Amino acid sequence: MQCIVNRRAQFSASHRYWLPEWSEAENIEKFGACSRFPGHGHNYVLFVSLIGKLDKYGMVLNLSDVKQIIQREVISQLDFSHLNDVWVEFRQTLPTTENIARVIWQRLAPYLPLVRVQLFESSELWSDYMGNGMEAYLTISTHFSAAHRLAHPDLSEEKNFEVYGKCARPHGHGHNYHLEVTVKGEIDSRTGMIVDLGALKQAIADYVVEPFDHTFLNKDIPYFAEVVPTAENIALHISNLLRSPIQKLGAELYKVKLIESPNNSCEIYCTESQFNLDTATENQPVLTSLL
């Protein structure tokens, strides 16, 4: 039986986004505050996912050995370093979150059966890399607050309460929604980016956060005048709003995850994924609810 195990590690490091062949104005336009000299730092959190069969001791790998390998090949070299200088790979391709994850994979692959490297730059930005050349995933986390009422316009009040329970109460209720938007793309061989991060954040703000924040979704968002704003329908609508703007930025919308509360979240997969591969198409996103 195949099993995936995950090992967590962390390191603190600084980096700077700056290309010497570009002018100062070009660097500032592309990288913004990240281009400032001498750089800025993060407390990175790393998750390394490994696959294998259970041995007679009930383990995929000896995690003490895994810890030592990650420490030797990655943490001891990156911790309290300036990333641009520490590894030769970062002189060719800037040490963005997605490129750091890619190079960590390359450093660990000779020693460990990797299936994923996930690197958190912060709680609001992280990258996933699965060993597919220059392809990587970048996730932005944000939030908005909104109210809604779950009631289908074609149903009676009695039937709505039967279907939606307390959520059908006439004055609605509110949530602090947590939104994660994951995009997929090719890491640029020089900038290290799969997408312009500033432009991606702006698109999410323009199309979702600003229009949705502090609204009563049923009344303030035209789409939900006739569509019940369940977490699933909200996530689906967000994916439809973001698909084209993200494509124009040169990336592909991969997943939208909406967390309505600690007990209720859902995910829309906008491309083929490990979920329902036989039915996932470009025009039929895959929905998974985690209740």
**Amino acid residing at 291:** L
Collapsing DSSP to helix, strand or coil, 223 comes out as helix
Is 251 within 8 Å of 200 (Cβ atoms)?
yes
**Helix 231-248 to helix 197-204 angle, to the nearest 10 degrees?**
140
Say how far residue 277 (Cα) sits from the centre of its chain: 20
H-type alpha helices, the chain: 24-31, 63-70, 76-78, 83-86, 89-92, 97-108, 157-164, 197-204, 210-212, 217-220, 231-248
Dihedral (C-alpha) 119, 91, 13, 27: value to the nearest 10 degrees? -90
Q: Give catalytic residues, as residue numbers.
A: 167, 214, 260
3-state secondary structure 19-42: CCCCCHHHHHHHHHHHHCCCCEEE
Using CA of residue 110, residue 115, residue 121, residue 126, what is the dihedral sign? positive
User: Residue 91 is encoded by which pair of tokens?
Assistant: 């002189």
